[in-house]
Amino acid sequence: MNKPRIWITRKLSDATLERAQKDYDVVINLEDQPGTKEEIISASFEFDAIVPCHSEVFSSDVVSKFGPRLKIIANHSVGVDHCDLAALNEKNILVTNTPDVLSDATAEIAMLLMLGAARHAVLGDEIVRSGNWKNWSPSFMVGKQLTGARIGIIGMGRVGQAFAKKARGFDMDIHYFNRTKLNDSVSLGASYHDNIESLLKVSDFLSLHCPATPETKLLIDAKRLNIMPFGAILVNTARGSLIDEEALIDALTSGRISGVGLDCYQDEPGGNPKFSNFKNIFMLPHIGSATVKTRDAMGFRALDNLDSYFAGKTPEDLL
């Protein structure tokens, strides 16, 4: 019996590729560049399944040109805002993602960004690295302390909960907004807010962990930034579309926001070049889940979904 033919659009972890090649007829994009519209459309005629990353966009105009062979898209990501789910459903193409396995790694990056933004990591590194550390005084590089501060979390899903546990280790006063209130056993005593504005008023620190949807686009805009306590810190490890970047620059310029930690941007790759003018923005290139353990787990989760589908079962992570 012929093995199902799958296209892996990026260079995934070695363990993932080794497993995939044992079980499937695999074509791997070892050049590791994002698949183009033309390549994605062509793949729908040539492959039974695609294992893409967030870098491959399955928009309605692309999906409308798909051939009949493609049956399942097993995403190597949690977020699926790069997939037009309605268009894919019309083509009877299943879509899965990889939840659970990257929560801790992403929460770790959020903690790194929050600490870096609060304690002037960018400026401090530059001063030492450039050889310009010539003196010290009690007023030198005084930052914002996490311990005992109020942290607001927007989105208390898997990543938000993992982040809250880590913030609890810093003795932070945890508040959250979520579509639904969580059970106390899950929220670990965090204070629930039924609207974002109420949360923002008490957020000395704010961390975003909600998905990118039409409803959350530019969720943090000028009006909401102005609700936050003066000198607050903002962290985003979710999606760049959540923040109005021009409004954020204005808030940084005025001092309303004293520091920012970012792992994602409206334009990726590349980010916002205007951000480089600010030493109080600690930036990373969308590496929230970039650990060996997590990359292996994400790849295996995607393959688990394929295994279930080709065995005639419903994939665990079917959307």
Respond yes or no: is residue 56 known to be catalytic.
no
E strand or H helix at 53: none
Respond yes or no: is residue 10 known to be catalytic.
no
SS3 of 153, please?
strand
Q: Of 19, 76, 158, 286, which is the active-site residue?
A: 286
Q: Of 10, 120, 209, 239, which is the active-site residue?
A: 239
Respond yes or no: is residue 286 known to be catalytic.
yes
CATH superfamily of 103-283: NAD(P)-binding Rossmann-like Domain (3.40.50.720)
Please return the burial class of 20, using the count of CB atoms within 10 Å of its CB with bins 0-12, 13-18 and 19+: buried
Which residues belong to CATH 3.40.50.720 in the chain?
5-100+292-310, 103-283
For residue 269 the two structure tokens come to: 């790759």
- The pTM (predicted TM-score) of the whole model is 0.91
Say how many C-beta atoms besides its own lie within 10 A of residue 211's C-beta: 15
Q: Of 18, 38, 46, 268, which is the active-site residue?
A: 268
For residue 219 the two structure tokens come to: 């969720």
d(CA 85, CA 90): 9
For residue 161 the two structure tokens come to: 């909960």
pLDDT per position in the chain (319 positions), as tens? 689 999 999 999 999 999 999 999 999 999 999 999 999 999 999 999 999 999 999 999 999 999 999 999 999 999 999 999 999 999 999 999 999 999 999 999 999 999 999 999 999 999 999 999 999 999 999 999 999 999 999 999 999 999 999 999 999 999 999 999 999 888 989 999 999 999 999 999 999 999 999 999 999 999 999 999 999 999 999 999 999 999 999 999 999 999 999 999 999 999 999 999 999 999 999 999 999 999 999 999 999 999 999 999 999 999 9
Tokens 């977020």 belong to 79
Architecture in CATH of 5-100+292-310: 3-Layer(aba) Sandwich (3.40)
